[in-house]
Structure formats: C-alpha cells, structure tokens
Structure 1
C-alpha cells in the first residue's frame, strides 16, 4: 500500500490509504496503530461509514464497549439497507455487553425489520432472550423462526443446545448437536460445542476421541488444538496442555490472545511463574484491553509477593472492567499485604458490592477492621460471614481472636472450639484454644485440648512442644520431659524445643544435661543471645566457671541492660578467682537494678525478688510503660507465658503507639509457636516505627523459620535500608537467599557479613555451601576451612569441608574431615554416607561397604543406602 500511494499520500488518495492501512494493521494485530488510522480517516472524512463501523467493531473486539457503542451509533446514521441492518446487529451485541438489554432488544428488532429474511440478528436476539433475559419461551420462538428460514446454520443448533444446558439437560443438548450433523456437514462450531459439553460433564474419553478424529481430518485447525489443550488442562496433564495451546497459537493466522492467556494458566498451575508472566505480557501486548489477562498477570505477581506489580495489573483489569469482582478481591489482598489497610478495606467493600455473599472477602474485611482496632465493624462483618456460612472455620477462629482482644474470653474459647471441631486439621486453632485456657490458669484443660489435637496430628512437633509447656506449668515435669523429647525426635532442628528441654533439666537440677540442651539450641540458632545466658547459668551450676564466663560474655555482646546477666557473670568471675572483675560486674548490675542488692549479698532468691520489684514499681508508677515491659520480659524468661501475654495485651491497650509492647508480644507468640499472631504484632509495631531495622529482622527471622523465604528476604532487605551493616540481618538474609537457591546473591550478602564479622562460623558455612552449589569449589573449601575455626564441634563444618575437598580430588584430606565428623557424632548417618561415596569414587569397595553398612545400621529402613550397598557389593 505504501509503495502504491507513497508514505504521505495525496489528499485525493488519503481516504483509501488510511482505510486500507487500518484494515491491514488490524489483521497484523497492530491494534493501536489501526485505531489511529481509523481516527485519522474520520478526521479527513467525518461521514465515512467504513471508518465508524470498523472502528466500533475493533473497539468491541478489545472489550472497549462504550467506545464501540459511540462509533456504531454514528455508523447506523451513515448506513443504508442491509449495511444498516448489520450495523444495528453489531450495536445490539455491544448493548448486551454493556448490560443494557432493553436497548439491545430494540436495536436487534430494528435490524430484523431491515432484513426480515436474515437470520444473524434473530440468532443474537434469541441468545439475548435465553442467556440474559431468562425468557426461554421467546428464545425458543425466535429459534423456530430461524429454523423456518434456514436449517443449515450451526448457530441455530448451538443456541438450542444452550437452552437445554440452561435447563440442566445436557444429554438433550448433545442430541441437538448430533442432529445438527444431518443439516450442517462437519461444522467445527458444532464439534467444538459438543466437546465443551463433554468436558464440563466429565465425559473426557469421548471428548478425547472426537478431538483426535477431527485433528486427523483438520490437522491445521487452531480451535481443535485449543479444545484439546482445555481437555488436558482439566485432566491435570499440564505438559500436554502447554503443547496443545502452543500449537493453537502457532497455527493461527494472526494473534490468538485467548490461547496465549490459557497457556499462561497452564504455567501458573505448574508454578512456573516466569513462563506464566511471559505469556500474560504477550496477551496484553496483543490486546491491551484484555482484562482477564491483566487479572491473571496480577495473580502471578501476587503469588510471588511482588505487591506493586500485582497492584498495577489488577488496576489495569479494573480500569477496563470496573465491576471485575475477583480483581477487587485480590487487590484487597495486595493492599493489605502492603500495609495500606484503608485502601484494602475500600477494595474489599467494592468486591462485596458486586458479590455480597462472598465469605472470603467479608472475612478479610473483618480481619482488617480488627487490625485497625475497629472492633464494632469487625464484629458485624464476622456476624455476616457466619450468616453466609456457619461452617466457616476460619471465620470462627478470627472471631475468637477479636473476642480475646476485647477481653471476652469465654466467647473466644467457644469460637476457637467451634473452629477446631470444623477443621481439626488446622493446628493453629488447637494452639490458640490451649493458649487461651492456659492463660486463665486452666492448664489441665489446655493439656486436654492438645491431647485431642494430637489425635489428628500425632506427628506434630509444635503440639508436643506446647503440651510440654502446659505440663511444665502444672509441675508435671516427667510428662513435660516425655513430650519435649518426642517433639525433638520429630524435629531435631527445633531450637526452642532444645531451650525448653534445657529449662526442664534445670528445674530438676540436672545442670550438665541442661547445658547440653542449651548448647544444642545454640548450634541451631545462635542469634538469641539470651540462650547464652541460660547456658552460662547451667555451666556455672556444673562448676564450669571458665566456660560459663565465655557464655555470659556472649550474651552481653547484645544484651547490655539485663542486670541478671551482669550479676551471674560476676558470680562466675568470683568463682574463677577474678574478684576485681566480679566487683565490676556486680556494680553494673546494681546500676541497672538497685533491687539486686539483696541478691548480691546472698539474702534473697533472684527471680522472685525481681518480680516483686517490678510489681511494686507498677503500683507506684502506673503511668510508666517501663515496669510492665520489664515484668513481661522476666515472666517470659521464667516461661510464665500466659501471665506475660496478659500483661502485654493490657499494656498495649494502655500505651498505644508504644512499639515495645507489640514487638515483645510478637516474640512471645513466636515462643508459643503462633506465627500468625507474631507476624501481626510485628507489623503493628512497624506501623509505629517503620524505620526500626530490628523489627524487620524479627519478621525476617519469623518468616524464614516458617519456610517463607521470599517474604523473609523482602523484610530483611527493607531492614538493610536503615542499617546496611547490620550483621544479623545480613546473616539471615544470606540464609533466606540460599533457601531460594539464589546462590550468587547469597555469596554477595554473606561475603559482606563475614567481612564485618570474620568469626561468624555458621555464615561461613552457608557461604561455602553457596560457592559449592555454584561449583566454586576452591572458594567453598576456603570458607569451610575458616568456619571450622569457630565451629569446632559442629558436625556439618567437617562434612561440607570434606565434600569440597572431594570435589577438588584431595581425597585423603576429605577422608580426614569425614572421620572427624564421625568422631563428633558416630550415630549421624551423613558422615558415614559421605565416607562411603568417597571410597566408592576411589573404587575402594570394601571400605565403601563398611561405611554404608554403618549408615544402614543407624537407619535400617533407608532404601537409598541399600542401593548404594548393592552397587559396591556387585
């Protein structure tokens, strides 16, 4: 066209140029350019029927129905004869999409008057009656008229089949479509509709047979591949679905945004987020007004917690379709996660205007009102949710949280019980119910609840842990020891469990066993410096003053305001004969808390006196926030969690905006293994102190411990904005990145952390593991070698060092490391397996067999080890 008329056509040829240019652009999928060409043509020729009609039709195809209506209404005034009938039909379709059904009926009747022998407008009118106005009688009459005019129109049979489907008779619908074969020869529309019905009603074998037959006859037909893909998707055959959607796209002459969008759905079902995102971006590039693709793109971002991208995508969908209920609902989720509670509430309210009976949206709205402290509105929303669905366990649970926050403990108990009965598989319901009972001193009932929970979750380490805490409060120490031991067998990496085991052994006077338990807790998590204090106390009680001093000093690296640590460190120095140092530490303890004078004189018992001191201070200074805070900390240290929770909840209400109370309450809920409550309190603290790097660290630690590494990474990165050299944040961020297999980023972060703290042994191990995964074996070996200087008793230091040496083919050194690991823990399987693999690589099969046999003796049910034994035995 450009060669014929030139890049800048003359005025004489401008109309034909822009009309044909727009048609070509539209065929090529260049929708934006086509719109511009049509608008230019209208500027040049305001009375051009093709320009107005085609532009209206283009806007209709892009779901821009209001714009389509405007141009088609103008086109009607410019058309004559059958063109006018066709334009009225297009305008009627547009009115249907705008839900102006009365106007749609009127313009379709006008179209029929202009072309009484035509069938196309009658078919649209029949569809309007059946699908939108619910007037089946008028729809049947209209289809009968079409049938008298012509019986070879596939849309006639499709419409009649839709009526039967609307009335629930899908077998009759299939018979109508089969009858169509007598009048319409091999029409693919009929075939496709039959397949859709079969898929919807689970007759997938027949649907598959039909599609395979027709694909043999029409191997280039995109719609057949599209339906084949839908069938595979329905059956969970995602790889086959992806291949079929790709074939539909490839075999289509021009863009096929629906197939591109559905290919994105397949990838999303497989959690292939990058591939899914790529397809949705293609779909909206083809059609920028494709609201469903924008919505699905938002879901991809939401699942990856890319809140800003998700928000933009949902807003794009809503700009195109303001009544897109699911988009409003998910926008509410995104805004809530971003901390923008008022905007989230507005989004959920708009969602509920469109779908008032949606229990999930109403529950989320209630939770937001609760988080804002608007308890009256929250309670009303919970009432409405439970009217809609009385068996909605999550609603009962969240209602319980509200009732507890308001002090209605009996009502909260009933709500928690209702939730636990409805969904016994949700551990958190049982945990909160037992915690509530325990906070009222009803420890036997709390224990009974946990025993009920264990009927459903016998292998739950967390429930066993909480049961141990309840037994401990009831002074049933033997029972508590039994439960905490089972908990640790189920989850040996549970650092809080080892801490509680240490406390129990301490209560029974088994100080060496208590010290061993605290040591294990520190091996798993050395970020909680208070455990070093507990460790030091047990070492001191075991007459190991020098080791106790090291532990106390570790605690004092970060906890400088705790008089008890200074006091006990002073005792250790005194026992070690360092009286000057002891005197210095006693003086510091007295400066922090003068009430310890009697303790240092040996006249009063430590913790009880301190508790009395804080209580007396609270009574004397009721407007000071310091004393409830200190008392809560003490009660937590004494593991009197229920009383601590009660004091903190009261203080949070009494001193709103004081960041220390929700922050400490979050720590308490972490100890109680109620992560949702912990997260909510940390987020509440952040609202009052958004620049507190320590809060981001706590959130990161909580989420990383819960397995949500992407969210942990996000909070930790935020923390680094305020404290770029915070070693704890860098260490934990490195762990979160490693857990996501982001090894280059792990190396960058942990290199920085180990430069700031060269003695960070566990960080050096993770740094070495990241190098190892990246096949940087020399760097990995160097990191593990450094780590052993500070983690000499940590078995994994030697195992990983040996693995790196093996990769470097330094076999003798690797053997030495694995044997050192065996000496540390001879009943640990991994060093024996590593030895066996090392010997097998060197074809020392007898030695390999000996090592693998030792591993199998530790875990006789391990089939992987058996296969390795067979490989060297052969």
Structure 2
C-alpha cells in the first residue's frame, strides 16, 4: 500500500465521521484542512450539494479561512450558478484584491457566461499578480479548452513554448487542440515554423511526427521521428512511435529493431513487448511472438491483448485447446471486447464444440444486436448442422435490425436455395445486388454450386451497373 492509499483511507474515514455526525445530530471536531478534504471528496463524487453544505459548516467554524470561499465559488461554477460565483469572488477580492487564483476563477466564470472580454481582463490580471507564470498560463489555456475555444487555448500554449521551449506538455496540448478542431495543416505549419526557428527542437520534431501519424502519412512521420532521434538518441517516445509507424508501413523487421532499442533504453514494458510480439506474429514467427506476448503477461497479468496474442499463435499452429484457454483468459479480462468473443466462438466451433460457440454468439448478439459477424457465424453453424430453417430464422431476425445489410441478403440466398425456396432466394438476391453489386462474390464463397445456377447468373447480369 502506497502513501496515496493511506490518504484515501484517511479521507474516507473523515467523510464517514462527518456523515455520522450529521445523522446523529452531534458535534465532532474537524480542522479546516480535514473539511477541505471532505469537500474535495464530494466534488470528485459529483455531490455538489453535499460539498456546499460542508463549505457552509466550515465557514461557521473558521470564518477567517478564505479557502472555503474559493471552494464555494468553484462549486457555484460547477452548478452553473455563475452570478453567485461572481458575487462570492468579488466578496473575497475585498480582502485579497491581487489574488491570482481568484482572478483565474473569475475569468473562468465569465467565460462560462460567454462574457469573453471580461474573462480576458481577469486572466491578464492573474498573469500580472502570479508568482507561477507558466502554471497560470496553463490554467488559462485549459479553461479555454474546457469551453471549446481551442484557438485561444493554442494562443496561450504558444506563449508557454516561447517562454519555455523545453516544456513538453505545451507542445502536446497544441497538437491536441489542432487535432480536436481537425486542422492538421495548421498544426504542421506551426511545428514547421518552430523548427525553422530552432532546427534542434526535439519536441517540435516529435510532435510533428505524431501529427503525421494521425494523418496516416507514415513515411513522413518516420522521417520526423528520425530527425528527433538524430538530435537526441534517448528520446524514447520518438523511438516507440517510430516503431508504431513502421508497423503501419508493414516494415516489421525495422519495427522490431526499434522496439528492442526502446526496451534497452527504457526497460521492459508490457505494451512494447505486445507490439514486438505482434511484429513477429505478422512475420509468422509464432514461437518468438508467443515468447514476447508471455513476457508482457508476466509484467502485467491484466493485459488482455497479450493473452489473446498467445492464443492466436497457438491457433495458427493448430493447438486449439491451448488457444481456447488463452482466448478465454483475454475475454475474461475484457468482457466488453467483441473481437475476443468472436474469435473464441470460432475456435470453439472448429474444436468441435458447437454448443459453446452458439452460446457465445447469443451472448454477443444480446450485447450488441447490430453485430453482423455474430449473426452470420451463428447462422452458419445451424446451416452446417443441417438446420437451414433455424439459419434462415436467425438471418431474418438480423434483417429486422438492419434490412440494408447486403451481407444478410446474400447469406439468405444460399440458405433459401438449400431449402428449395427459389423465388424468395431470387427476391433477396435482387435486393443484395441493388445494395452492393460488387460483393456478389460472397454468395459463391459460401455456396460455390450457385455459380452454375442459371437464375442466379441472370439476376447478376440484369443488375450489373
């Protein structure tokens, strides 16, 4: 148990003591700092009314303690009571007219009231009277971010970079703002400008690489990360992200080299081991892939991706019993991950366990009735078990949810033909061809014999674009 755990226990104990006092209508002793921690507890739980009651209680006990007034104003802002917040802040300003924290809070309140000019005046006042200029600039920028005023947030993050070019967080925040507003072009322009001013800015090169990655321009992102690493070979985040970009370019051997260097410089990490294993898996090096997936699980037993990866390597080698065991472990860790359950269901069916597979497909559909793969795979099992009527029924249920899904219609054609329902089959074929003609090959993948059926071929030709 670390120090934070002890602090959490202490706060919980104080909250329980406070609530017991209220229930019993008795009196107990709480110092001002303890009451502050109780207020924060309620705020974090979004129990704003309870937080306000503690504030009033604290003010009655410690009228000189201005922090309660600040908390009151903060809670008023959270409750949308902006006029009350302004009134409380102005009351506090009578005693502390040059308090930067009050000016910040007042600016935030005005911004929430859409009174931008008043907010800007408050922020300027906060900057005039703060001893922590960079922290205050961050606070102002975050307020603008929270109000979806990203251009203004960028303005303040830019000031931070100009005053402290090594501030990594500011570079990240600017990239995030441009990402949110979808202006990657302006973001690239911004970092290019910084690089022209300082070609050795690792932060600029790194974030430029990140932006190119988000734009899926992986060659350019690799180049940017390479420049960053040429300046600072120990910039581990650049090396890791370069490896990720190389994976997207299918350059798995190069990516492996970068992941190994990342581990050498930063030490073992479950995510890096997982990514490294994925590269070996793509190269069909299943033994090596399994080795690194297992290393990931030893570092972090709760990393579902690694357990799933081990299962995939066993599945590729035909060891289905072992594969199923690992798939189950992954699905247990991430119960809301449909991919794991889909693969597990398929593995169960291939291993001769159709009942288990059906249960899994049913579970998936109950969780998400729009999951096309589950409907198709479940119906396929019923069809292969010589119960085409049940297979037809399942697809008809799926069509009630998504009638425009051409995959359902193509599948239904196969099932209907198998039961001699030619007219209905052709009706669904026409619908499927109208929705998506190009995918008519799906029909022949499941039932190759339909390629020799004259009515099928005629319908395809009649619907050809």
Scaled to the shorter chain, the TM-score interval is 0.5 to 0.7
Conserved? CA contact 2:137–2:156, under 8 Å = no
Matches within 5 A, 1:570-719: none
* Contact map agreement 1:536 1:552 (CA 8 A) in 2: no
> Does the 8 A contact of 2:348 with 2:354 survive in 1?
yes
In structure 1, distance between residues paired with 2:291 and 2:160: 55
Quick check: 2:379–2:391 contact (8 Å CA) kept in 1? Answer: yes
Partner deviation per Cα, 1:231-269 (whole Å, 9 max, x = no partner): 553895264353044156579999968567643332124
2:335 pairs with one of 414, 417, 424: 424
The corresponding residue for 1:301 is 212
User: In structure 2, what is the equivalent of residue 367 of structure 1?
Assistant: 278
Pairing of 1:755-834 with structure 2 (within 5 A): 761=465
Aligned to 2:269: 358
CA contact (8 A) 1:222 1:252 kept: no
Matching residue of 2:155: 246
Return 5+ residue gaps in structure 2 as ranges. 1-39, 41-70, 79-98, 108-121
* Cα-to-partner distance string for 1:571-613 (whole Å, 9 max, x where unaligned): xxxxxxxxxxxxxxxxxxxxxxxxxxxxxxxxxxxxxxxxxxx
1:467 counterpart residue number: 378
Is the alpha carbon distance of 1:255 and 1:236 closer, same or farther for their aligned partners in structure 2, counting shifts above 3 Å?
Answer: closer
Partner of 1:290: 201
Deviates more, 1:238-247 or 1:313-322: 238-247
| Correspondence for 1:550 among 444, 458, 462 | 458
2: distance between equivalents of 1:251 and 1:404?
Answer: 52
**Matched residue of 2:234: which SS?**
coil
Quick check: 295-304 or 349-358, which moved more?
349-358
The 1:224–1:270 alpha-carbon spacing in structure 2 relative to 1, beyond 3 Å, is: farther
Residues 158, 174 of structure 2: 8 Å contact kept: no
1:451 is the counterpart of 2:362: yes
Partner of 1:209: 102
Instruction: Give the gaps of 5 or more residues in structure 1.
Output: 1-170, 172-197, 555-758, 762-874
Q: Give the superposition deviation at 1:229.
A: 4.4
Q: Indicate whether 1:319 and 2:230 are aligned.
A: yes
Partner of 2:405: 494
Q: 1:442 aligns with which of 328, 349, 353?
A: 353
- 1:376 is aligned to 287
Q: Determine if contact 2:290/2:309 at 8 Å carries over to the other structure.
A: no
Alpha carbons of 1:304 and 1:396: their partners in 2 closer, same or farther (altered >3 Å)?
Answer: same
8 A Cα contact 1:228 1:244, kept in partner: no
Separation of aligned partners in 2, 1:323 and 1:358: 16
Structure 1 residues 315, 525: CA separation in 2 closer, same or farther (over 3 Å shift)? same
Q: Encode CA deviations 1:834-866: one digit per residue, 9 max, x unaligned.
A: xxxxxxxxxxxxxxxxxxxxxxxxxxxxxxxxx
Give the whole-Å Cα distance in 1 for the aligned partners of 2:338 and 2:238.
31
> Does the CA contact (< 8 Å) of 1:226 and 1:248 recur in 2?
no
User: Secondary structure in 2 aligned to 1:332?
Assistant: helix
Count how many residue pairs are aligned between Structure 1 and Structure 2: 353
Q: Deviations over 1:90-117 (max 9, x none)?
A: xxxxxxxxxxxxxxxxxxxxxxxxxxxx
**RMSD over equivalenced CA pairs, Å:** 3.8
The answer as to 2:126 corresponding to 1:233 is: no
CA distance in 1, matches of 2:460, 2:464: 18
| Conserved 8 A contact 2:331-2:341 | yes
> 1:322: Cα distance to partner?
0.9
1:393 to 298, 304, 307: 304
In 2, Cα distance between equivalents of 1:536 and 1:514: 15
Residue aligned with 2:438, SS: coil
**Using CA pairs below 8 Å that are at least 6 residues apart, which structure has the higher relative contact order?**
2
1:10-21 alignment runs, 5 A limit: none
d(CA) in 2 for partners of 1:234 and 1:377? 48
Deviation at 1:377, TM superposition (A): 1.7
- In the other structure, the counterpart of 2:426 is 515
* 1:143-186 alpha-carbon deviations (Å, 9 max, x no partner): xxxxxxxxxxxxxxxxxxxxxxxxxxxx9xxxxxxxxxxxxxxx
Aligned to 1:332: 243
| Structure 1 pair 503–339 and aligned structure 2 pair: CA distance change class (3 A) | same
Report if aligned partners of 2:294, 2:307 keep a CA contact under 8 Å in 1. no
- 1:415 maps onto 2:323 in alignment: no
Q: Secondary structure at the match of 1:288?
A: coil
Give SS of 2:352's match: coil
Aligned counterparts of 1:489 and 1:531: Cα–Cα separation in 2? 21
Q: Note if contact 1:257-1:283 (Cα within 8 Å) is conserved in structure 2.
A: no
Taking structure 1 as the reference length, the TM-score comes to: 0.37
Map of 1:726-765 to 2, 5 A cutoff?
A: 761=465
Deviations 1:654-694 (A, max 9, x none): xxxxxxxxxxxxxxxxxxxxxxxxxxxxxxxxxxxxxxxxx
* 1:65-97 deviation per Cα after TM superposition (whole angstroms, max 9, x unaligned): xxxxxxxxxxxxxxxxxxxxxxxxxxxxxxxxx
Deviation at 1:518, TM superposition (A): 1.8
Query: Is the alpha carbon distance of 1:439 and 1:239 closer, same or farther for their aligned partners in structure 2, counting shifts above 3 Å?
Result: same
1:609-660 CA-to-partner distances (Å, cap 9, x unmatched) read xxxxxxxxxxxxxxxxxxxxxxxxxxxxxxxxxxxxxxxxxxxxxxxxxxxx
1:338 & 1:505 partners in 2: Cα distance? Answer: 43
Kindly state the Cα deviation for residue 311 of structure 1 after the two structures are TM-superposed.
Answer: 0.3
Work out whether residues 514 and 538 of structure 1, in 8 Å CA contact, stay in contact via their aligned partners in 2: no
* Separation in structure 1 between the aligned mates of residue 279 and residue 160 of structure 2, nearest angstrom: 49
Alpha-carbon shift at residue 335 of structure 1 (Å):
0.9
Matches within 5 A, 1:129-140: none
- Give the conservation status (yes or no) of the 8 Å contact 1:453–1:463: yes
Q: 1:336 Cα deviation (Å)? A: 1.3
Q: TM-score, normalised by structure 2?
A: 0.66
Change (3 A) 1:408 1:288: same
2:373 corresponds to 1:480: no
Deviation at 1:404, TM superposition (A): 0.5
Provide closer, same or farther for how the CA distance between residues 248 and 548 of structure 1 changes in structure 2, counting only shifts above 3 A: closer
CA contact (8 A) 2:195 2:205 kept: yes
What SS class does the counterpart of residue 149 from structure 2 fall into? helix
Say if 1:495 and 1:521, in contact at 8 Å, map to a contact too: yes
Q: Which residue of 2 aligns with 1:526?
A: 437
Q: Which has the larger radius of gyration?
A: 1
CA distance 1:549–1:505, shift in 2 (3 Å): closer
Deviations 1:299-329 (A, max 9, x none): 1111111011100111111112211121111
